[in-house]
A and B are shown apart, each in its own frame.
Chain A
Amino acid sequence: MKQSEFLKTVMPFQNKVFRLAKRLLVSTAEAEDATQELYFKLWKNKSKLKDYKNIEAFAMTMTKNYCFDRLKSKQASNLSLVHSNYKENDTGLQRKLELNDSVSIVHDLIENLPPQQKLVIQLRDIEQYEYNEIEELLNISATAIRVTLSRARKTIREQLIKQHNYGIS
């Protein structure tokens, strides 16, 4: 596979990879590194890419696994430090302004969901993948996906209503 051909096949979903990585890793810098790393891995294995029917799903699965590995290694070493680092990056003026914006409430709500729910919300509500694609991607059954998704959506909705009613932001 030539470089141009390779780029043509993998570039269309680079933003999706990046957004998924950012959803899981929180920090933009980390997500950029993850995207870079993923594309490098794909490039190294370019000869095997033809064997996969759906390269995008394959890439997304790789991204997911890579991010979980990253998180695991961080947790094993020094979670608290890393976590404060993440927060540190975001507590700029822009972030404070954003906090007033109710859109970022949703961001924080998704942030607090369990990883699997986070994943499903990202893939379905943001990237708008079909259920069979998510099935292939996460390697779990469509029913399980629906259950997880439903749970996540309901949690987010309840939290939103709570905040809406009490005016907490």
Chain B
Amino acid sequence: MELANIEKLLEKYLNATTTIAEENRLKDYFLSDDVAPHLQEYQVLFGYFSTSKDEKFTKTIQLKSQKLSWKWLSVAASIVLLISVYSGFQINENITERNRAEAEKAYEESKMYFSMVSVNLNKGNDAIAQLQHFEKTTNKVFK
């Protein structure tokens, strides 16, 4: 491509009136090896444009964002809370059950002991009654 043409295109380029096709022609020219010495600064420019276009996004895009996991975290937390409350209630229930059983046993035992005590107390009463009888007769005798 002749130089005059390129210079004309460059003029248009600077005034932003070139089309994409014309800009591509300029790009092709400046990416080739034989560039006129007085236009060398453009070589850098167009070189930069074409290398920049090759830059790629290398990471993979995640459509499920981190924010979503917060929702799941709260669901999990509420489940854990529910389970802990339920099991805590259950354990508490067990404890009261056992306590009641123990209390009943203790009641039975103490009832037994009380009855034993009362039986023995009655025996003592009989003895005391005899003693009273003895005292009466001694009083009769010694009057």
Are A and B associated in one complex?
yes
Interface SS, A side:
helix
**Residues of the B chain whose Cβ atoms lie less than 8 Å from the Cβ of A69:** none
Number of interface residues of B (CB under 8 A): 27
- Interface pair A147/B61, CB less than 8 Å apart: no
Could you tell me the distance between the alpha carbons of A128 and B52 in the complex, rounded to whole angstroms? 12
Interface SS, B side:
helix
- Interface pair B48/A147, CB less than 8 Å apart: no
Stretch in A47-55, A73-81, A86-94, A98-106 with 4+ CB within 8 Å of B: A98-106
> Does A27 sit within 8 A of B, measured CB to CB?
no
In the complex, chain A residues 1-39 whose Cβ is within 8 Å of any chain B Cβ: 3, 6, 14-15, 17-19, 22, 32, 35-36, 39
- Interface pair B23/A39, CB less than 8 Å apart: no
**Residues of the B chain whose Cβ atoms lie less than 8 Å from the Cβ of A146:** 15-17
Could you tell me the distance between the alpha carbons of A150 and B16 in the complex, rounded to whole angstroms? 5
Could you tell me the distance between the alpha carbons of A154 and B10 in the complex, rounded to whole angstroms? 11
Could you tell me the distance between the alpha carbons of A93 and B94 in the complex, rounded to whole angstroms? 70
Could you tell me the distance between the alpha carbons of A153 and B23 in the complex, rounded to whole angstroms? 13
In the complex, chain B residues 39-83 whose Cβ is within 8 Å of any chain A Cβ: 40-42, 44-45, 47-49, 51-53, 55-57, 59, 61-63, 65
Q: Residue on A with the closest CB to B65?
A: A40
Q: Residue on B with the closest CB to A160?
A: B41
Could you tell me the distance between the alpha carbons of A103 and B50 in the complex, rounded to whole angstroms? 11
Tell me the A residues contacting B by CB distance below 8 Å. 3, 6, 14-15, 17-19, 22, 32, 35-36, 39-40, 43, 102-103, 105-107, 125-128, 130, 145-147, 149-150, 153-154, 156-157, 160-161, 164
Q: Which 8 A-B pairs have the closest CB atoms?
A: A18-B57, A106-B48, A150-B16, A149-B16, A160-B41, A146-B16, A43-B63, A39-B61
